[in-house]
Amino acid sequence: MEIPKITALVPMKGHSERVPHKNIRPLVGKPAFHWIMETLSKSAYINEILVNTDSPEIAESAKANFDKVKILERPDFLLGDMVSIQPLIAYDIEQTDAEYFLQTHSTNPLLTVESVDHAIEAFFAQKEHDALFSVTEVKQRFYWPDGRGINHDPKFLIRTQDLEPIYHENSCFYIFSKETNHKIKSRLGSNPMMFPIERLEAADIDDLEDFYWTEFLLQRRIANSL
């Protein structure tokens, strides 16, 4: 199976609403965004990392520490907290000749190179799906606001471990082609493939509580590897 080279997209703002300076905040001995950059740099299939940023500090740190990086200075029309991800993707994929992309975030520092490479291999081993996204399996009881069960019947409670799983889009990564994004204008394509990863690996930094939890998990991983 021949796998084309992949360009990784990592958008990063200098400003963060819930965690001040989240991307460059020190996290277990290095700027937080360095963790995902190290993972992408070790991938067997990623040969370019596009960092779209409005922060000179992030740009300088990325260029100084990682070889595969190309910095994209964020244009004015993409500045601000209200810009969604698709306009950023649409802009970024036009700045390279690459045909296939993996988009991820600096807020997923526990993502492993094994998961990245296995997801890429799984995507190119099939022809049915035009995109791939990472998920985590959930086996818990959920309810609609009116009390109806979403994924179970409240009248017949079974053990949670016996529930049919549902899947959470964890935003760790998305794989798609330039052609698909042009056509569908979504990183999910029209018929995406789900790729499960473990819940702890999918830890995502949205707020300070997430940051402290991720910090603990990283410290635990490092201690267990010694």
Please enumerate in sequence order all residues whose Cβ is within 8 A of that of 86, keeping only pairs 6 or more positions apart, or say none: 185, 186, 187
154 in a structural domain: no
162 in a structural domain: no
CA distances from 67 to 1, 9, 64 (A): 27, 15, 8
d(CA 211, CA 225): 21
d(CA 152, CA 160): 10
Residues 14-69 pLDDT 10s: 777 778 888 999 999 999 999 999 999 999 999 999 999 999 999 999 999 999 99
pTM for this predicted structure: 0.93
Residues 111-165 pLDDT 10s: 999 999 999 999 999 999 999 999 999 999 999 999 999 999 999 889 999 899 9
Arithmetic mean of pLDDT over the chain:
94
114 in a structural domain: yes
The token duo for 186 is: 């979504």
81 in a structural domain: yes
105 in a structural domain: yes
99 in a structural domain: yes
Q: What was the pLDDT predicted at 55?
A: 93
Residues 119-137, buried b or exposed e (16+ Cβ, 10 A)?
Answer: bbeebbeeeebbbbbbbbe
| Residue-level length of the chain | 226
Tell me which residue range forms the domain holding 205.
Answer: 6-133+169-225
- For β-strands 166-177 and 131-138, DSSP reports them as antiparallel
The token duo for 203 is: 């830890």
24 in a structural domain: yes
Question: Could you report how far apart the first and last alpha carbons of the chain are, in Å?
Answer: 35
Q: How many domains does the chain have?
A: 1
- State the residue for tokens 């990472």: 134
159 in a structural domain: no
Contact at 8 Å (CB) between 197 and 134?
yes
> Residue 100 is part of a domain; what is its CATH number?
3.90.550.10
| 34: alpha, beta or left? (left if phi > 0; alpha if psi -120 to 50) | alpha
Residues 161-219 pLDDT 10s: 989 999 999 999 999 999 999 999 999 999 999 999 999 999 999 999 999 999 999 99
